[in-house]
Structure formats: C-alpha cells, structure tokens
Structure 1
Amino acid sequence: MSLNVIDLIKGQLGPATVSQAASQLGESESGISKAISGFLPAILGGLANNADKPGVLDSITGAASSGLLGNLLGGSSNNSMIATVLTAIFGDKVGGLVNAVSGYAGVSNSSSNSLLNMVAGAALGSIGKYAADNNMDASGVSSLLQEQKGVASSLLPAGLSMASLGMGDWLGGADDVTHVENINVTPEVDQKIEVNRGGNTHVEVDKTDDNGGGSIWKWLLPLLLLALAAWFLWKQCDSKPADTTTTTTDSTAMMSDSIMTAMPLDSSNSTTIMTDSDIDLNGTMIKGYKGGMEDNMITFLKSDGYTNATDDAALKDTWYSFDKVNFKMGSASELEAASAGQMENLVAILKAYQNAKIKIGGYTDKVGNEASNVKLSTDRANYIKSWLTDKGVGAQILGAEGYGSQFAMVDATSSDAERAVDRKMAVRFAK
C-alpha cells in the first residue's frame, strides 16, 4: 500500500484534540478516544467503498482549501461537505452507527454525533491536504481510497463488529471478504477464527495438547458462554439508573426547538452542564463556553483567518453553531430568555471586528413537512438577522437562509432528545 491513510487521519486527532473534545463535550478523554477508534475504520471503509462517487471526491478535494483542519471541533458540526459525505457513504445507517459507537465508548449520543462529524472532518481534511500537496487529481484520490478496501474491518477495536455497527457485510467493500484474527487463549493453544463476510461463519482450531488428545472446546466453550452471559447481565444492571431519567430528559428537550452543538442536555439520559468561562475579546471578557461558538470565532479572527481568506469559497463550509440560542417550540419570533446573552456576545464580536461579515443559517430535524421546515428555519434566520440589525451590526450581515432538514443527521424515528442536535441556528463568516 502506498500510504497508511489511517495514520494520516490519526495525525489530526492527537492528545490535544482529544482533550479539547472531552472538555467541550463534557466526556472523559478515554470515552472520546474509544469513540474515535470506532469511527475511524468505519469512515475509512465508507470512503474506500464509495471512492468513485463524484460527491465524495469533490468534498475531499475541496476540503484542502476549506480550513477544516484548523477548526475540527467548531467547524465540523454544520459543514455541508461532511454532511454530504456521511450521507453518501452511510445513508440511513448514520443513526445506527452513532448509537453503536455511543454505547461502545460510553459517551452520549449527542457527543457521539459530534465526534462522528469531527472524525469525518479530519478524514476529509487530511486526505484532501495530502492530495493537494502531491498534486493528485480526482482519479488519483479515487485510487488511493480504493487501496484501503479490506483494511478497515481489521482496524475495528475489540468490542465492535460490523453487526454491532449496523453495517452487516458492508464494510470491506466486497461480497466475500475474510477477516482473520489470531487469539492466544493459553500458551499451549493457537486458535484461529475465520469469519466469512458472505454470511457463513466457521471456526478452525490449530492446537497442541500436552495430553495428546481431547478437544479444548469441551470445557472452553461453556466458560466463554458463561463469561459472555455474566458480562451481558452486568451491562444491563449498569445501564438501569440512566433509564430512569428518560422521561425527564425528553420532556426538557421539548421546551425549545433549537438546540446547540455543545448541548447542556446530554442525550444519553443524564444531565451534563457546560460551564461558562471568560472569553477574551481583545481585552474585554465575555462569558461563553471554552471551545464554544464565541471562543472559536474569536480564535479564527485573531489568527487572521478571515483577513487571509481571498473569497467566500474559503469560508462557506465552516459554520459556528449557537450554543445557547433557542426558539420556543414552533415559533420563529420568540427566543428563550437565555438566548439574549449569546446574541449580545455576537454583536460584541462583530463590533470588535468591523471588517468581518457573516451569514446566518437555520436548521431543523427530519420530522414534519420539508416545505414547512424550510420556511420555519428561514423565518428564524431572518429573525436573528433583524435582531442583530437592530443592535447596529446589520451592515455586517450578508444574508440569512433556512436549510430545513437538508443537513439533519438523526433519523425522524429517533427520540426528541436525539433529534435535538439537528435543530439549531448557526453563523459563518462571509466575503
């Protein structure tokens, strides 16, 4: 293989990124690392299996100039390239993938969804940068991805499988792919397990027995089954306390109809509170989340990222989701009381950087009529534009648009708390 693509992507997801994600999402670093290890092979396999799709290739080649790698945590949740690629490679399996990795890593569904976008952004950005640095055209990128076929399934960590990810025999890119794993059960036994991805499973055992006869499976298999049953019962018992809060969490989420990326409510049915910190706006302190919207926007502006952007194309794929701006259910003209603080913060940022221009976007989940969703999200975007204009920064707003459920990732049949991540308002810089 000409390139170890998995290591290329991992280079963008080092300890600093893991630590920042853990802080922003309110999860443990070990949980973040486990989720990344689950998503990486799934995304790589998906890219390999869809390497000939123009939408996938266009997103990869376009990622090189998007600035995506410089803002993986803040710029990936509403990125249209990422949404296009995830839909192209996973289709309606996205929800199942998010749920499976959430359970495996012990993180909330909301965090799992954010991490899926982050890892996908790292994949697109790193492969796109490699392609640009090596003058690779679409054909070269396609060939590079196709070389990864069959690799991804062997990279899945212990505890995850194609079935648990809801992929069946999808990952690997062939109708009949054999995955071989050698497991040393004892020093005396060399056990080889072969799984035929075409649907037939068989086991071959190569062994040396000090007693010269008899099968190790006569006693090993019952022990393995007992251990599996004990593990299952332990997991069931361990999960019961979380189930008792389901009603509370879902009913709380129903109170507002636009929930941010860094959610105060944790969709795993437990409550995680994000804590306000002082964010430095050129010597003036404003309150916001570390790694949240204000923090990421100010960091970008201080880096001269806006000044150095030559045109709108370099900015259009990086969106900043409001962490605290929520409309009342079904309304496009009534904000929740807690929304005002972050709106005032955005006004302060625009006044501090008067050369910066923005566009506003509105999003809904997949529930309901799409025409109504587009109208609601458009009306909300225009409401925020009017609100900001009344505060004296209207000249810096170049547009407002509603996208309905176009970029929604969570299935309509999922719980309200899970779908909340798709209901949001966001802004991006524009030229």
Structure 2
Amino acid sequence: MSLNLIDLIKGQLGPALVSQSASQLGESESGISKAISGLLPAVIGGLANNANDPRVLDAITGASSSGLLGNLLGGTSSSPVISTLLSSIFGDKLSGLVNSIASFAGISNNSSSSLLNLVTGATVGSIGKYAADHNLDKSGISSLLSDQKGIVSTLLPAGLSLASLNLGDWAKGYKFDNDQDAIRQPSHEEPKVEVTRSTAPNGTFPERNKDNGGSIWKWLLPLLLLIAAAYFLWKQCEKKETTTTMTSTDSANTSADTATAVVPTNTAGSGMSANTRVDENIDLNGTALHGYKGGLEDQMIAFLKSDGYKNAADDAVLKDKWYDFDHVNFKTGSGNQLEAGSEGQLQNLVAILKAYPDAKIKIGGYTDKTGNEAVNLKISKERAAFIKDWLGKQGVGAQVLDAEGYGSQFAKVDAKASDAERATDRKMSVRFAK
C-alpha cells in the first residue's frame, strides 16, 4: 500500500498553526483550514507530476537542513527555494491556483498565496525529513512521489474539482476520474429520427403516448432538486465549522502539589470560553504580545501588574493558580516534538519572564484518561521537562523552578467520551512559584 503523503504532512498543519495563520493573515480559522485542505493535494499533485525533476528532488533533499519545518509561519513566505519550486511545478498556472483556492475558501488572494508557500514548505520539509529518516536517495524520493498519482484523485475536498483549479493540462498524468464523473458534457450530435409506416386506418397517425417522453422527468426532476437542496444545506453547515483548539479556562485547573489532590480554580482568568475568545495584542509594559483576551498572556501579565506575585507570602498562596497554554501542543505520542506554531506562545512567556525577572514559574503536563497510565505519566513528564529546557535555552532557565508531569491523575473527562471532550484534559500549564 502506498504511503499517503497527506498523513505524513498533516501533523505540521494542526490546529495551532491554523489558528496562528488566521490571526496573522486576518482570516477566519475555518477559511484557513478550508484553503489548506485544497492546497495540500494540489501541491502533492504538483510534486508527483514532477517526480523526476532535479529541482524538485534537490529541494526535498535539502529541506532537512534548511529549517523549513521550524519556521513555517515566518520563513516560507520569503524563501527563494519555495518560490522557485512553485514556479517549476505550476508554471503560468500558479496565479490561477491561488485565485481558485481564495474563491473556494472565502479568503483573500494574498492570504491564499501565503498559505500556498506555507503548505509547500510543510510538504517539502516533511518529505525531506521522511527521506532522511528512512535513508531514501533521490530515486527513492522520486518513487515515493510517483506513487501519489494513483491516490491523488481522492485527496481533493468536497466542492473543489480539478477543473475549478484552473490548472489546464497540468494534471493529465493523474487519475482524476472523479472530476470526469462530476462533469459530463451533453452530446451535440443531432438525434436520429426513425421514420416508420403507419398502420392506422384512413392514413391517420396513431396518437403518441404523451407520457413516454415526460414520465421520467416527473420523478427525476424532483429528485435532482432534492439532491441540490441537500448539497446546499451541507455546504452551509460546512462553512460554520471551526477548528477546535485547546483554550485557557477559569475552572477545573488541577494541581499535584498536595497529597489531597486539591482541584484549584484559576482565579486570575476572565471566565471567557473558547467560543468567545477575542484575538488582540496584549500589552506587556508597552510591548505588544499577540494573544487572546483572557488567555495565558493576558492572565499572567494582569496578575504580575497587580503585584499579586510580589505580595504572595509563600508558594502555598500561588500553587492553585494554574494557567493553560492556548497554543503549545505536542505531536501525538511525542514528549519532545512540538506541533508547528507552538513556539510563538513560548516566546511570549519568555518575554513576560524577562520583563519580570523576579518572577519564578513551574511547568505542568497533563493527559486524558485514555491509554496506559504509566505511558501517560512518562509522556507528560517528558513534555514538561522539554518546555523547561526550551525556556532555559532562551535565557530564562533560572526562573523555571520545576517541571512536573501528572499523567491523567487530574483528568476529569471519561475515557469513553469524544476526542473533542477529552481535549480539555490534554494540556500544558504554568503557574507562578516561590
């Protein structure tokens, strides 16, 4: 079975990156997500159609050392490697692709172009990493890309066809059978009229059965209208879908600092839910940090400005005030691999600690109730330690007193609940410490 490259790449384009891209480009998260869903198969198709092109193979083999995956939001838009690669695989069809995706997703052409660079960087970087990890040479990479030709027809999202991408003859080599099935042009041949001799008496013609030509439409036309109405309603519902991300809330933050398993309340929060978050610049003593009203940065800065930390007599006063990261996520099952876009909020935390050098913090990691508890505990500890080490490399290590993982010890959602419900238990948190 051929490797589906979308499965390889989608980890780089998770909810955190979608959210940050939406904020950076001034678009809705649903529009960004929809655009990525259309761009990703188009980029994979372009690479597969040029699987033997030396420029494509050079870009992929050099991706592992170029740092593309570590800076998707900041580095891909100005990368000459990405620009050259896109020109190579799409040629004069590039602008048509950008315009079509913009129209499909309801975003601006500029945003569509930026996302095309981002998706291309994630694709090339992921394939390059896979090739390096599996010791694939250029021939192996070429074979991997060529294998996508047989499955690329299944990758386009509903509502987007090859014809609508304005790519012309670009994809003749693919098996886009679904597009041919969806668009059937009527025949322009004149109907053949067969003349027969009448057997009616007195030279008259028998009366034609008026239902022969119209009976089929009596049931087919209403059926077609019903299908069209159902499709319209489905598309309207699809537009309302938003990408779910882990958010900071005021209730049910947990602490493992006491043997009695006290369930603390994040009293520093604003009480805003994930559905009412307001994207804005958070003021840090005159410096603007990009975050959410009521999010981690907003809460921590408000607490520090109120002299809450300075006036805290000891650690017991601070231990129940935990702040959940809004956009720091790890790849599934990994204790040391951040999802793309996660470093932005960690950089914000570094800025806060540098602005308040007397402040000390503690990092906590949590999982949901699914899986083996020993594994959950191990992963949560690794993640907390990873963030502590990461902060140390940014020059604020002395302010991070401890990092602990609690596994599912304080998880509240049942293991049989939906993944979306259990996501509230999978988080990384931070609190002030003395």
- TM-score w.r.t. the length of structure 1 is 0.46
More strand by share: 1
- TM-score w.r.t. the length of structure 2 is 0.45
- Greater RCO, 1 or 2 (C-alpha within 8 Å, sep 6+): 1
